[in-house]
Structure 1
Amino acid sequence: MAWALLLLCAAMAVPLVSPFASPPSTPSTVLFPARAYSIHPSFTALYPHPPSSSSSQTPRAHRVSQLPHRAALLPRRRLDQSIRRRATTPLALRAHDTPYPAGVYNPSTADSYFASRPLVIPQRALEILTTSLPLALDLWRSGVGGESQAEALKATLSRLGPTFVKVGQALSVRSDLLPPEHVAALQELQQAVEPFDSEVAMEVVRADIGLTPQGLRSMFPSVSPEPVASASLGQVYKGSFANGTQVALKVQRPGLEEVIAADLWILRALEPVLSRFPLFQGVGTYTAVVDAWGKGFVDELDYRKEASNSQRFLESMVERGLDGAITSPEVYPGASGRRVIATRWVDGTPLDRAEGGEVGGLCA
């Protein structure tokens, strides 16, 4: 099927141009005197500790660890019930309520998770099949080519979720594998992914940080009604603290861990068939390629790691005396969690939109 071929192409691209090729410590934004440039095409913004109130915060042990798969599509009442139920369940009792309880990629824990939920994998496999079928039929009838097919490819990958969006992002630089119109369409997946509902996003923020509804409004009196940017794993809002400090609030899409774990489980299960494809020659074992993707995905799902890496980068620049030339947005730990990260808002220009003469110097 078309989706299988796309995954194979992406797997070959992993050692060459992997979505996780940049080290985790690489900041999302580098500031130069007078101007700012985002060095990654997908917008991420990394924010003083906000004013806190003991009456507005609930214990962090009562955070939501993972919202249900497709939470953005749940009726409002069901979503509220699910959030409340999970928020009041002790973390110790929810240790087995995630494919990766320790927060790190582990195929064994995913096996146990899906063994106790026998319908998840068949449902996901059926979803992949039915969603990709129209594109596969078009490829079979017409071959690869055409702007309409390129747009259909982008839309299909976007609908299939973050695993497939990452596939598209990896393929967007492989002009040796795809026609120019396909490459151009897939490049839009770097920063033009369909956003999820903003009400759901604010529930994720409230639950992850451990706030009451009033506490959320007190911490962030102003938040843009819609995201200013949306990517495969999350979306960003522009807001402000009560003291007027402007912040960028990045919120993770709900239910990502389960759907990503299911996709990786399916890929590993297909090893006897897919490992025979010539695309894997010279890139290591098939399972090693899938596991490399898995580790990168799961690491990206924990925004606390991003916050820590950003802080380490800032300290490193200060030690080298470069803090006046290169920096990263300040992270506000008191307003951040595993699935939410608040940073100082920085106005900047992505490198792909910078003036031609400046790019070479900035990347040197």
Structure 2
Amino acid sequence: VSKIKMETENEESNESWLVVPNQLEESVRTDEANGIQPKESIKAAEASELSFEKIPESDEERIKRIQIERALEDDSSNIETWRKFALSTHGLISDDLRRRVWPLLLGVVPALASPVPTLEELQSHPEYTQVVLDVNRSLKRFPPGIPYEQRVALQDQLTVLILRVITKYPHLKYYQGYHDVAVTCLLVVGDKVAFHMMEVLSTGHLEECMGPTMEPTQRRLMYIYPIINKEHPQLCEFLERSTVGTMFALPWYLTWFGHSLPYYRTVVRLFDYFLASVPLFPLYVAAAIVLHRVDEIFEQDCDMASLHCLLSNLPDNLPFEKLLISAAHLFEKYPPEELEKDVQIMIEKERDQRMKEQQARLKRSKYTEPHHKGIVNRWWGSFKGPMKYLLVSASILMGIYAYYRSQDTINR
């Protein structure tokens, strides 16, 4: 039996997701200060059970498969060849093709994959226990029906994969949700190549998420609002008035939607696109999803709880091919550098609003202070240093005397 399993069999296997001991704790504290309720996001972020159901290839997909296979045999094919296939409709079609193309999108050469260390060699890492717990909570992300021994072996491989990356790059901090990205790479390309893919992603696409705090990630999530505002100002105003914030999109961004979607084929299709795109592209997909659901959003009450519940639970039937096209158009119209000024304005606006609210609370607390409390404070403040200590000592002695007198009375 896996050492992972034995070491964690007595641990609570809670599927709530963002219960994070590291930088997400800081994220939660910051969000509470900003008026966002992270506990609701934690409850809503349970992993979707992943369906590995296979659907027969369409005629279009079969034609594209042949094109990709030919390109793989053509020495003149380059990264732009693979990007075009990954970004166009249907992506890379199937895992047998992804196994060959995903590494090429990141410049990884499978033949040069380094040897895999044993789990025992990595157990001293300070994040070992947390990684093991997360891996054991990720059962829903493995294919159903596989033999127990094979599942345990995959869990061990996933643990080793994650620990190898954060051991080699000690400045990178593990976050819960990282394992959702890693398990998808592991299932497609195997543990040896997955390590080199995760190396590239962790020092590129995901590096900002693996910093000492989640503040840069929170700032990135705010890009969603300027995009929505430029496309649909009324929707943006409605969302801002509800104070729903961006916590609903945090698992989408951190896991490349791997934690939130019910179909494996959709997850790997999105990975096709994200591997061939700039690191911020998942935010444009998030904005496209919110814009796509505008009618549902306007049917809700304009409050944080209702909208967070709606947005954090993605429908099973979202048309992701259309959404990817919409997201690409949004990216062309509103590149990240053009959104930075809007994000800064939002941050300053929120800061001013928080200061006003804090001042209002302080003002209210002054007026609601009990009158008798003010009298006591003024009376107590009239006594100087030694006299205060004498009064305290006398009060304690009187209390002790009264206690023993009462005990005497009872005994009689």
- Please give the TM-score of this superposition, normalised by the length of structure 2: 0.26
Name which one, 1 or 2, has greater alpha-carbon Rg.
2
Structure (1 or 2) with the greater strand fraction: 1
Which structure has more relative contact order (CA 8 Å, sep 6+)? It is: 1
- Please give the TM-score of this superposition, normalised by the length of structure 1: 0.29
Structure (1 or 2) with the greater helix fraction: 2
